[in-house]
A and B are shown apart, each in its own frame.
Chain A
Amino acid sequence: MTVSQSIWAVLERRNIELGPEGEATKTLTNWRYTKDEGGVVWLVLNRQDESTNTLSEAVIAELDTVLNELHGMGAKALVIRSAKRSGFIAGADIRDFQGVTELGEVEKRMRRAHEIIDRLDDLSIPTIAVIHGHCLGGGLELALACDYRIAIAGSSFGFPEVLLGLHPGLGGTYRLTSLIDPVEAMTMMLTGRAAHAKKAKKLGLIDEIVEERHVKTAVEAAVAGELKRMSGGLKASVLGLGPARRMAARRMRAETEKKAPKEHYPAPYRLIDLWEEHGGDDSAMQRGELRSFSELLVGDTAQNLIRVFFLREKMKGLAKGESGIEHVHVIGAGTMGGDIAAWCASRGLRVTLTDLDPRAIAAAVGRASKFYDKRLHSNLDRRDALDRLVPDFEGSGAAKADLVIEAVAEKAEVKRKVYQSITPRMKAGAILATNTSSIPLETLREGVSFPDRFIGLHFFNPVTRMELVEIVAHDGASEQSLQRARAFCGDISRLPAPVKSAPGFLVNRALTPYLVEAFVMLDEGIPKEAIDKAAKDFGMPMGPVELADRVGLDICLEVARMLRERLSDPMPDVPKWLADKVKSGETGRKAGRGLYAYDENGKIKREETQKSDGEAARGMDADMADRLVLPMLNTLVRCLREGVVADEETADGAMIFGTGFAPFRGGPLHYARERGAEDIVAKLRQLEDKHGERFSPDEGWQVQENQPAR
């Protein structure tokens, strides 16, 4: 039906204003410009062979050429726009940043870029950025160098540099702090959070929000000087004073410390220093920004986070293509099933959610709507997502779905029974996926009449936050089904990691030794806070004890048992008290009590942590982090050797996006490589002598040792 879709296919090209029609005055590789009858030059960025505009060195260099030519043209004003549907400019071209190590070279390149952007800023004619979609990082810095920013409804603005271990480096630090309330500006740069058009207008970051159809008129008004420019406001002048800045900076440091410890994430602290010292003095800040940005860029944190950026890009690349999936049927409305359903519906898919217990379905809808309240921005979006999430009490969805995801109890016979009842009703070509975390697909596929379309889609808890989905293959699964499953991940903004059907697949198998080692340490009398601290000091977002509580001790126990049964991986015994704890219902955060006690909001109770702070730190030593982390690395090397996962990058990406493995280390295997395989093997041997066979280095390290460090 699609009547209206086809209507828009016809009308859409009439709806974008890129300046005068017809032949451009001049077309360069990435830019083209045209002068209209009123003397306004429309400069349009349309990067060659890219779907999204980013600022590469070449793009900036070409801008310089354009600025040179502008002089002789008698231009009355300059409009800058993007021809890409996806948005204005999504930031710097990160490829330019990859693997740079020469500080001097970086500084030289950055200085050149600054000069060009400054020339734009210095133009005597009105300059107007017309912005749709994403305007991020370097894109926003370019826009900030213009006199006016006219935003099209739906656009968003932000400085995500901090997520790459950087801060803005093309004048953003001082242009933003002098344009808007400096505290708001710093918050934007420190959190990396984007502001939607409305918020940006409120902040004074943009001058006007218009619909696309009014762009031409809005530009004319700006050129005629009828558009009121936003100004910095009162707070800016107060914060021009040193003492006020120092106070604000102290608060910022305290806030930042909660999220990103200084030793692992230097960028936000450098940014705060920069502003505290030079805020209000643009040229000093520019010099400081140039230097600080260049230093950060060649540092380990930024380079590792850039690696993570490309790991994500690589996984996104796997998720390209057509999935042919519009309707997902989810069986089992527990935490996983319910959350998978809610997530898929929020990403625009039609979802039927079924369960034997109608109350479980209803509860899942309630959870979904709470999530939508937080994450979706308009009531219309919330309504539509809830409309797409269909409680399916009769289980009818199975017959119409393109993908059926089974998320029932982790028992092979229960799952098989489900398959028996639904597979005859499923439509031709539909995929059946299991969310099992532990049962081999070879066991489950017996009795499935179409093993080629049976696969594993292993989501991670919480589904709404963990980006990873393991795509589990088995020898009967067709490449087409696997490709569709990967593309499905792309449809729902998740990252696929293809893995083989081996016990625990990749992530759980590698994570379990880490968790079990923590249990052993607890058994040795090491306080749980000390264990968690060791892991957090290494850079994990939370320690293994807290993580085990999050995952659920019952599940940890089950997975550990299963791995011990099915694999020859040396693993320590799970302490008996843990099994007892699970039996008595203390299964972790979901039960309000596990290894920690939790309040009703799921936060660890304060008194709980304080009580044991004073305990003697028996068995604590400098090896703690290695004891936790090295078994994980050892297992990953083994998985790589056994072909559970195809390559190191996928393994690293899976651990980062599935478990939150310290991102600034660039991934577990990258960390191993940086540290040196020999060093790790030596350490493992040492731990083996002290603690037993479970630390015995895998033979896969030999391959690692033969590869040079990057």
Chain B
Amino acid sequence: MAKGAEPEPKPTRRRSAARRPTAWKVASPLVGDPRKDDKPVYLVDGARTPFLRARGKPGPFTPVDLAVQCGRPLLERLPIARDAFDQVILGCVNVIADEMNPARVAALRLGMGEAMRAFTVQINCGSGMQSIDTGFRLIEGGKADLILAGGAEALSYAPLVLSNRTAGWFGRFATAKSAWERASAIGAFRPDMAKPVIGLERGLTDPITDLNMGRTAEIIGHAFGITREQADGYAIESHKRLARAQKDGHLAGEVIASVARDGTLYDYDDGVRPDSSMEKLAKLKPAFEKPHGRVTPGNSSQITDGASWVVLASEEAVKKHKLEPIARIVDSEWAALDPSVMGLGPTLCCTALANRRGLTRDDIDLWELNEAFAAQVLACLAAWEDEEYCREILGLNEPFGAVDRDRLNVDGGAISLGHPVGSSGNRIVLHLANAMRRLGLKRGMATECIGGGQGGAMLLEVV
């Protein structure tokens, strides 16, 4: 990073000048030593659907369909009655009109009983982790014993929406009372009003800076000197790791096949491209900043449908239902920063969380850092090795240090699996727990950057 480099986009600079000088902020109420009477919280089990690439039209499942597909077998294999849960919390970003409060719709369709309280959380790419965190804090505080926390997203259902101008015209037409009024309303129609706005594209654009998420990755990729080749190389490795995990059965039990109404079986993450190569990736054009950018469809996360659930339990619930926890949720942390560099979110919340727990980089055995963009993941890693960044931004006397690739996203990530935004945070926590178990490791961190300029992190210990 060039010394004294200015943050790139101007709007950000203007805004930050008007605000407090702090570049970032972690969630304050939870900072400090964990209180003594906090109750331990266990991750008992979890399951997800295969993540299915969006193929240009609505996929076979809505968000709630997906939540039902993986929720049913999960609830079935647990020795718990379906109505024994205290509540259901579900992360979902793009809620479809037929499924308002998808958490409650899912709970009812899962047969968890009419008395099951359920609410939906939305913090963009952090939604699936936010649901776990909310459940975690409730159990930790003794307010609940058993919570089903998940994430569901069907990006293939992202709606085509009317522009505001078109919607305004339609409103006038629909409320027109006389024939004259109606005729004049029809006359006001302009052909370009018929052009829908692609909801997904708007959803992936930060409203404050009007930067598409891919551009934020370009910004931090540039700032930390990440090249196109490095990004492509990272992407290929992601596909190889997922392909290997699929082949070796490392996802068994975590990924449960889904069955569409027409009887089609979906039994693996179908975004995987094991035959991906540097040559093939090199042919792809930059997706967001043509023609010079480094972020291409090949080194970005895929637009995908998928859902994931985890079961959280208190010590009492574990005893009562004779559960066998996989991991204990130790702590979590959230951070917020300038939306134009949202990809650096993980460096902030992970560092803060490690500091609070008195942990250094070497104390963390395994990492899941959500692969929004290869350039963004690599920028985070570079930032932790960057003396100036660590000192000025993270407040560390010396760099946090490099996170070993062998300990990071060992079974692939959103670049190969896809990134159903509301589900990913849930998936990385679940997979971190399962992978640590398999590899005989003790402590792990799951973290993601969050569109809009935030980051979330969760610290787990295998039990």
A396 to B256, CA, bound (A): 12
- The answer to the question of A387 belonging to the interface, with a C-beta cut-off of 8 Å to chain B, is yes
- From A2, A362, A364, A396, B264 is in contact (CB under 8 Å) with A362
Chain B residues near A5 (CB-CB < 8 A): 114
Given known contacts A1-B115, A3-B114, A4-B114, A400 and B76 CB-to-CB distance under 8 angstroms: yes
- From A1, A367, A396, B263 is in contact (CB under 8 Å) with A367
Chain A residues near B77 (CB-CB < 8 A): 394, 396
A359 touches B76 (CB 8 A): no
Residue of A with least CB distance to B68: A387
Q: How many A-B residue pairs have CB under 8 A?
A: 72
Chain B residues near A358 (CB-CB < 8 A): 257, 265, 267
A549 to B115, CA, bound (A): 51
B263 touches A365 (CB 8 A): yes
Chain A residues near B264 (CB-CB < 8 A): 362, 366
A3 to B117, CA, bound (A): 12
Within B65-91, the residues touching A (CB, 8 Å) are 68, 72-73, 76-77, 79, 83
Most buried by A among B109, B256, B259, B264: B259
- The answer to the question of A496 belonging to the interface, with a C-beta cut-off of 8 Å to chain B, is no
Given known contacts A4-B115, A365-B263, A393 and B257 CB-to-CB distance under 8 angstroms: yes
A1 touches B76 (CB 8 A): no
B256 touches A3 (CB 8 A): no
Given known contacts A1-B83, A366-B263, A390 and B115 CB-to-CB distance under 8 angstroms: no
B116 touches A362 (CB 8 A): no
B259 touches A362 (CB 8 A): yes
A181 to B350, CA, bound (A): 75
Question: From DSSP, what is the main secondary structure of chain B's interface residues?
Answer: loop
- The answer to the question of B262 belonging to the interface, with a C-beta cut-off of 8 Å to chain A, is yes
1/0 contact string of A5-42 vs chain B (CB within 8 Å): 10000000000000000000000000000000000000
- The answer to the question of B19 belonging to the interface, with a C-beta cut-off of 8 Å to chain A, is no
CB of B152 to closest CB in A, whole Å? 15
- The answer to the question of B292 belonging to the interface, with a C-beta cut-off of 8 Å to chain A, is no
Chain B residues near A352 (CB-CB < 8 A): 76
Chain A residues near B253 (CB-CB < 8 A): 394
- The answer to the question of B261 belonging to the interface, with a C-beta cut-off of 8 Å to chain A, is yes
Chain A residues near B142 (CB-CB < 8 A): none
Chain B residues near A574 (CB-CB < 8 A): none
A397 touches B115 (CB 8 A): no
Question: From DSSP, what is the main secondary structure of chain A's interface residues?
Answer: helix
A363 to B259, CA, bound (A): 9
- The answer to the question of B395 belonging to the interface, with a C-beta cut-off of 8 Å to chain A, is no
- The answer to the question of B111 belonging to the interface, with a C-beta cut-off of 8 Å to chain A, is yes
- From A369, A392, A396, B261 is in contact (CB under 8 Å) with A369
- The answer to the question of A492 belonging to the interface, with a C-beta cut-off of 8 Å to chain B, is no
Given known contacts A391-B259, A394-B73, A396-B76, A359 and B265 CB-to-CB distance under 8 angstroms: yes
Chain A residues near B256 (CB-CB < 8 A): 393-394
A390 touches B72 (CB 8 A): yes
A366 to B258, CA, bound (A): 12
- From B68, B73, B83, B115, A393 is in contact (CB under 8 Å) with B73
CB of A400 to closest CB in B, whole Å? 7
- From B110, B114, B261, A386 is in contact (CB under 8 Å) with B261
A386 to B69, CA, bound (A): 11
CB of A682 to closest CB in B, whole Å? 55
- The answer to the question of B113 belonging to the interface, with a C-beta cut-off of 8 Å to chain A, is yes
Residue of B with least CB distance to A365: B259
Chain B residues near A194 (CB-CB < 8 A): none
- The answer to the question of A134 belonging to the interface, with a C-beta cut-off of 8 Å to chain B, is no
A490 to B261, CA, bound (A): 28
Given known contacts A1-B116, A3-B115, A4-B115, A361 and B259 CB-to-CB distance under 8 angstroms: yes
- The answer to the question of A350 belonging to the interface, with a C-beta cut-off of 8 Å to chain B, is yes
- The answer to the question of A325 belonging to the interface, with a C-beta cut-off of 8 Å to chain B, is no
Chain A residues near B72 (CB-CB < 8 A): 387, 390
B265 touches A387 (CB 8 A): no
1/0 contact string of A195-217 vs chain B (CB within 8 Å): 00000000000000000000000
- Given contact pairs A365-B261, A384-B109, A396-B73, a sample of 8 additional A-B residue pairs in the complex whose CB atoms are under 8 Å apart: A3-B114, A4-B114, A5-B114, A358-B257, A358-B265, A366-B259, A366-B261, A390-B73
| Complex A-B, nearest 5 residue pairs according to Cβ-Cβ distance, in ascending order | A366-B263, A1-B113, A362-B265, A396-B77, A1-B115
